[in-house]
Amino acid sequence: MHSFSRRQFLKGGATAAFAAGTAQTLSGCPPLPTPPVTPVNTMARVAAVRGTELREMTREILDKFGGAAAIVNPWETVFIKPNFGAVGMVKYNAVADGDCAKPEIVATVAEECLKAGAAEVIIGDAGQAKTYSWTKVMTLDGESNMAAEAERLRSAYPNQIVTLACLNADSPAWDPIPSPYTKLGRVYISSLINRADKVISIPVVKSHRWTQVTASMKNFVGVTSTDRYGLGIQWRFLLHDAGIEQCFLDIVRALEPDFTIIDCSICCEGNGPHVMPGWWGTTVDMRDRLGDWLLLASTDLAAADATAARVTSHDVMQVDHLVMAYNQGLGQIQENMIQLDGARMEDLRVPWQPAEHTEGFTAVLIPGIMLLVG
């Protein structure tokens, strides 16, 4: 059982109060409220690290913020949310082909949190599969996998806990968080992340056929249950129907994530978030465009995502969820208000094939992927 921090207690109280209030509100079916417009007017900081060795790059970018000890306090529970969404769904190597964040980054962040004294580090994602083997989440060099990395960390830090969680199957409970600007009223997320003391997002940057770009904020769709939102299919139809952007922004608002590292190494352009010529996107090795791999990090997820969007040649003001996040006070997206440390934007921007933005969705079966929706 996890003990509750003050942060968790306050969040739980707010959630209970919201649930009590909306029970009456929804009964009358009033118009949905419009989110308040409270644009962020403070500076944000995003750090950039270039290189070809992901573990070393990860430690370097953490050091730019004072190391994991500046994020994590001793005896806290840390939830690391990687984008492993395609694992167990696709038949190709989802890490090597650019669908997923790299285990080298995830395992290094986990180890640095353990060094900082975290009591437990939970690495979890719901993704599109009910469950999957962590041995299938391979490092880029093929020499290790997430199961082996977790076991290595357990041996090195025997008095601390390292947990791997396929959230669709392993989440002990699903906690409601407020979603007042969607018809859902609330969105249910895994108790493992909702009750953690610190939350770190580790996505891979990709263009996306429904949200144009996916990075650290969109990553939190993967803490919801496909059983609850998939209408009997391993997908999230009901979240899309309610407005996927507002749903994951509401999750970000509730969780107040503490940090993100965006993986810009092996990525996906075109009609992501999956890779497959024709209907889906294609793999991009950033070394072919930039000469190096790239990591971006920040305590401001919107600023990190906006920077990743600019690196991949997207017009930030045309990406709905980035503008929504800014207007709703969730983070900074204006380039002149983001301090970029370690690089100049003009040296990072690379050509990128955007997605063909798709409205709505239909079920489609395509060889190579078990079930796709477009």
Distance from C-alpha of 326 to C-alpha of 324, rounded to nearest angstrom:
5
For residue 360, being part of any structural domain is answered with yes
Number of domains present in the structure of the chain:
1
For residue 1, being part of any structural domain is answered with no
Q: Average pLDDT in the 89-94 region?
A: 86
For residue 34, being part of any structural domain is answered with no
Quote the pLDDT of residue 7.
Answer: 40
Report the chain's mean pLDDT, rounded to a whole number. Answer: 88
Q: Average pLDDT in the 234-262 region?
A: 95
Whether 368 shows a pLDDT value over 80: the answer reads no
User: 220 Cβ partners below 8 Å, 6+ apart?
Assistant: 81, 189, 201, 248, 251, 252, 255, 257
Quote the pLDDT of residue 357.
Answer: 62
Q: Average pLDDT in the 195-208 region?
A: 97
For residue 65, being part of any structural domain is answered with yes
Quote the pLDDT of residue 277.
Answer: 67
Give CA 260 to chain center in angstroms.
Answer: 8
Whether 327 shows a pLDDT value over 70: the answer reads yes
User: Within 13 Å of residue 292, how many CA atoms lie on the same side as its CB?
Assistant: 15
Phi, psi of 182 (to 5 degrees): -125, 160
For residue 33, being part of any structural domain is answered with no
Where does the pLDDT of residue 91 fall: very low under 50, low under 70, confident under 90, or very high at 90 and above? confident
Domain region containing 245: 6-26+39-373
Whether 369 shows a pLDDT value over 70: the answer reads no
For residue 122, being part of any structural domain is answered with yes
Amino acid, res. 50: R
Where does the pLDDT of residue 276 fall: very low under 50, low under 70, confident under 90, or very high at 90 and above? confident
Amino acid, res. 253: R
Whether 147 shows a pLDDT value over 80: the answer reads yes
For residue 321, being part of any structural domain is answered with yes
For residue 31, being part of any structural domain is answered with no
